[in-house]
Amino acid sequence: MREIIPVSLGTRSYDIHVGPDLLPRVAELIKPLARGMIAVVTDENVAALHLPGLLQSLREAGLSVGALVVPAGEASKSFAELARVCDGLLDLELDRSSLVIALGGGVIGDLAGFAAGILKRGIAVVQVPTTLLAQVDSSVGGKTGINTRHGKNLVGLFHQPRLVIADISSLQSLPARQMRAGYAEIVKYGALGDARFFAWLEQHGSEALAGDRAALSHAVAQSCRMKAAIVGRDERESGERALLNLGHTFGHALEAACGFSDRLLHGEAVAIGMVLAFRLSERLALAPAGSADRLARHLAAVGLPTQLSALAPIRTDAEELVRLMSHDKKVSAGALTFVLARGIGEAFTTQSVPHAELLAVLSTD
């Protein structure tokens, strides 16, 4: 059931392994890459579940290993924690032949990937994502970074991993709400570029979410295939990669309105944001009537929010949301880039959205 998906980036090419029971095989899979010390960076929650087993298997494979455990949660994506991780890696005497393993969700992937990217001007990193969101999105494509008081992910760099190992068995311990939030990013791939995959998700998405191994493997692998293809064509987001932001411009404003709290998880914001993007596309007569309802029906069927009213009692004044949207880092030369669609699986980017239409969509949802 294991799938190997190549990401083609010339000398920075790598494979993504997707399937069940891969964590016990990490040592075997990284051995060809391991020339020196290996440091596992993880958080305290993931450490409790997976760190002892991983360290033992790395040692049994004859590898020199160390580990750094950071506090769980978004607050670890900070300058202070980045400094602690860099110093911790230097304490472990990592050099340029060493390898960092980022074991965890998006926070760990971003933080450890960033630290590896700047340590000694760049050492190799292997991403071992343990959340659905990280498996289908953040561990692939090389984006790394931290948050500052100015916003999320505003400091970082592109540092492609040497390998990604997505063990779907590690998702068994993930809370259902986190699974659903990650699933929103899977739906995003169908909605942005693959109508057949979207139709497959309508049929089998709930099986994947319920933990059916074959369905979950397929959903994760197909998402990674789509992301790999897009990143392979546009590594630095000068064009097509921006399609991966479907639902994110709206979503970012909603997360900001909720103070980036657990009130609204990133994937939940993306779910509402995608529906808003489709509603706007219909309003502008770009997408056929019914596309937004079809998308919303599927998201709601798996328990994701699809409407602004789901945020009540948080106020979602349309003008205020537009103001929050314009603080997004995706603003370029003062203009917001929207990902809209001509239908399910046919997304495109545009900067020309009449303000009145935008306000109308945000007022009527």
- C-alpha count within 13 angstroms, C-beta hemisphere, residue 319: 0
For ligand GLY, what does the binding mask look like between residues 243 and 282, x meaning CB under 6 A? -x--------------------------------------
Angle at which helices 266-283 and 291-301 pack, to 10 degrees?
A: 160
**What residues form DSSP beta bridges with 127?**
102, 164
Token pair of 356 as six digits: 């009145």
For ligand GLY, what does the binding mask look like between residues 100 and 139, x meaning CB under 6 A? -------------------------------------x--
Assess whether 237 carries a catalytic annotation.
yes
Assess whether 147 carries a catalytic annotation.
no
φ, ψ dihedrals at 321, nearest 5°: -65, -40
Assess whether 77 carries a catalytic annotation.
no
Assess whether 31 carries a catalytic annotation.
no
Closer residue to ligand GLY (CB): 112 or 244: 244
Instruction: Write down the catalytic residue from 50, 77, 147, 245.
Output: 245
Kindly identify the residues of this chain, within the stretch 135-194, that bind ligand GLY according to CB under 6 A.
Answer: 137, 141, 143
**What residues form DSSP beta bridges with 100?**
39, 125
Q: Chain centroid to CA 182: how far?
A: 8
Cβ-proximal residues to 48 (8 Å cutoff; 6+ apart), any chain: none
Nearest Cα residue to 192 out of 237, 236, 245, 141: 245
For ligand GLY, what does the binding mask look like between residues 202 and 241, x meaning CB under 6 A? -----------------------------------x---x
Closer residue to ligand GLY (CB): 81 or 237: 237
Q: What's the count of helices (H) and strands (E) in the chain, helices before strands?
A: 13, 11
**Residue carrying structure tokens 């409790």:** 48
CB of 340 to ligand GLY, least distance (A): 17
- Residues marked active site are found at 121, 143, 185, 227, 237, 241, 245, 248, 252, 266
Q: Which residues would be at the binding site for ligand GLY (CB under 6 A)?
A: 137, 141, 143, 237, 241, 244
